Chain A
Amino acid sequence: MARKNKISAFSVIVGILLGFYVFSILFLFLWALLNSLKTAEEFDFGTLSFPGSLNFNNYIVAFFQGFSKQVASGETMRYVYIEEMFLYSILYAGGGALCQVTATCIAAYLTAKYRNVFSRFMHGVIIITMILPIVGALPSQIQIFDALGLRGSFLGVYVMKFGFTNIYYLIFYGAFRSMPDGYAEAARIDGANHFQVFFRIMLPLVSTLCGVVFLIFFIEYWNDYQTPMIFLDNNPVLAWGLYEFFKSYDQALSTPTVKIAGGIIVLLPLLVLFLVFKKKLMGNLTEGGIKS
């Protein structure tokens, strides 16, 4: 039978504060939803009132006119709209997350299980890169990517994201270090080579961890607009489209109610993703992997 925690003044006060915090988040979303259903006149009259009627015109304007960006296409210019931005977001977020998880998993496995001098050296280098703050390397990265022809292409972005110097390296490293060698030895007795051991034994054992880390990176890159702004200037993602929409002075789009509706349009897929995967996203990253 679970022990009940003793109620103290501290827990009551913190509980109330958390309640206020949750209320403030809910209030913000409700406020945005109600104002997205108002006409421009209703919004100008008052932002703290309920809409007179449910007006979905803002969503129609936002969806069909809000997300548009002019980009170069060869020697001409063309417009990119929300469907294409959505596709680019999938390519950027999905491809970037896949690259990052792959590189991180591989590097962690090699340094954890192949304990030579180089592995120890790389492990140390990775730790140092995580705590050493490097400021202002972006100009240099732009210049190098320009020189290599990697800027403005998904290949360039995938190269950029195929890195392993992130906090999840430590989590993968810990997972591989704590794995007993029995699995690999049994596989080698059966004639498996190192590639087969990694792809058919070790990788499935960390598949849950890979999935969770992939989700975390996917969400991070889905919400990122500054990197695509610089490195994918002709392939605008949804977040960048939303930024341009927010800053637009176009008469049809400059109404706050339309911009709020645009924000809700982009919010919905993420909300669904979060509600479906919230246990995985908020769970303990160290769990999962080996079955006991």
Chain B
Amino acid sequence: MKEPLWQREADAVPEAAEPSPAVAETQGDYLSAGPPEAPARGEKKQKKQSKAGARIFYWVMFALPLAQFLLCYVAVNFNSILLAFKETFVVRDAQGVQYVSEFVGFDTIWRFLSVELTSKVYTVAVKNSVIYLVFSIAVVIPVGLIFSYYIFKKYRFAEFYRVFLFLPSVICSLIMVIFYSYLVDLSIPEFWQMLTGTRPEGLLTTKATAFGALVFFSFWFSFGPSSLVYVNAMSQIDPSVLEAAELDGAVGLRQFRSVVLPMIFPSITSYIIICVAQVAVNQLNGFSFYGTGASDYEAQTLGYNLFAVLQGAEQNRSYSIAAAGGIVLTLIVAPLTFLVRWLLEKFGPSED
């Protein structure tokens, strides 16, 4: 019988090593385990009480997290679907301004598809999002892996480099945005002028270079958390495998390509899937750099557009178009994510 998707994911939990048979014998299910060494007399009653106690504990502890999940995931997403089929109308009467939501069928979704998605703003956003996705998979992930391999092998100054790989992810991205924006808009043109005598416009305030500057910013400060995960995954490789490879002459790049990469491929798969899943969510810090004006420099992405629309929607409570956009993009990105996952599992390298 084919394993359900969630079961495979459950089995792929990296640190959930299955206990040894000796330990497994002692590991039970707290829900059904009775009191150990219970006396014969009244044993049935004690077992019943213990099971009841376990159930009370289970449901009392799970109550709040479950309620939060039902509210903030199930209800929110259900309402999001409903919103996509509604429209908000502004009604002015004697009592003032009223916002009335009504079901309009597929009108809002159709408006998003026919008007919004085909507009120049969204066309550029789709193009930018896809470009960044390809860049992430083709450049950011490989460079992160190479850096992580250097840290894992503890080559010279590895610990020192590790601190600086991780540091930008700790610091508020807004701080880096402030420093970076003045650096590329003022200092780099100034430096270019010193070299060539001509001063170009700032990189973030020129249409031709704005998106590239955003991409470079994301690339420059993206290595931290992923490097932790990659180094951790590399640490799980049996040292004898690496020693055997070294004895066969596989060192440096050869060892990285032929031994390490296949063995940590599940971690790489996770990051590729995250990149694909976030293609419609990633703002590339556009809002931090430009506020609602990124489209003036053609630096917007799909994630930026959705957030910027929401900022505008606040004024007239018209969340429907943003919800409709979210539903449409989910219906495109979700199957794409599962497809990429399937392709990577089917055609990716294996430990063998």
Contacts and interface: CB of A to CB of B under 8 A. Distances in A.
A11 B187 CA distance: 32
B118 interface: no
A282 interface: yes
A18 to B, nearest CB: 5
B10 A123 contact: yes
A8 B160 contact: no
A264 B28 CA distance: 53
Contacts of A130: 9
B31 A116 contact: yes
Interface string B1-34: 0001111011001111101000100111111000
Interface stretch (A53-61, A71-79, A239-247): A239-247
B164 interface: yes
B167 interface: yes
A263 B106 CA distance: 46
Nearest to A196: B57
Contacts of A222: 172
B65 A127 contact: no
Nearest to B169: A219
Nearest to B278: A133
Contacts of A134: 77, 80, 326, 330
Nearest to B160: A22
Interface string A177-188: 110111011001
A89 B10 CA distance: 35
A247 B287 CA distance: 11
B341 interface: yes
B297 interface: no
A138 B30 contact: no
A242 B175 contact: yes
Nearest to B63: A106
Nearest to A283: B228
A127 B4 CA distance: 11
B100 interface: no
Nearest to A180: B23
A110 B323 contact: no
Interface residues of A, number: 109
Interface string B265-306: 000000001000110110000011001000000000000001
A26 B77 CA distance: 43
A226 B323 contact: no
A282 B163 CA distance: 8
A282 B167 CA distance: 10
Interface in B173-195: 173-180, 182-183, 186-187, 190-191, 194
A193 interface: yes
Contact of B174 (A132, A223, A230): A223
B6 A127 contact: yes
A289 to B, nearest CB: 11
Contacts of B75: 144
Interface in A152-190: 159-160, 162-165, 170-171, 173-175, 177-178, 180-182, 184-185, 188-189
B347 interface: no
Contacts of B322: 136, 138-139
B258 to A, nearest CB: 13
A142 B317 CA distance: 10
A40 interface: no
Contacts of B333: 133, 135
A80 interface: no
B94 interface: no
Contacts of A6: 246, 251-252
A260 B334 contact: no
Given A22-B160, A123-B6, A193-B53, A174 B13 contact: yes
B142 to A, nearest CB: 12
B232 interface: yes
B58 A114 contact: yes
Nearest to B323: A139
A35 interface: yes
B28 A103 contact: no
Contacts of B174: 223, 225, 239, 242-243, 246, 263, 266
A14 B150 contact: yes
B168 interface: yes
A103 B36 contact: no
B139 interface: no
Given A19-B157, A260-B182, 9 more contacts: A5-B154, A21-B164, A103-B64, A114-B29, A180-B19, A194-B54, A194-B58, A270-B170, A284-B235
24 contacts: A5-B154, A8-B253, A14-B146, A14-B155, A21-B161, A28-B179, A28-B183, A124-B4, A127-B6, A135-B281, A136-B330, A142-B319, A144-B71, A160-B72, A170-B16, A174-B15, A180-B26, A197-B30, A223-B174, A230-B310, A259-B178, A259-B182, A260-B178, A260-B179
Top 6 closest pairs, chain A to chain B, by CB: A136-B326, A124-B6, A8-B252, A139-B319, A10-B252, A194-B57
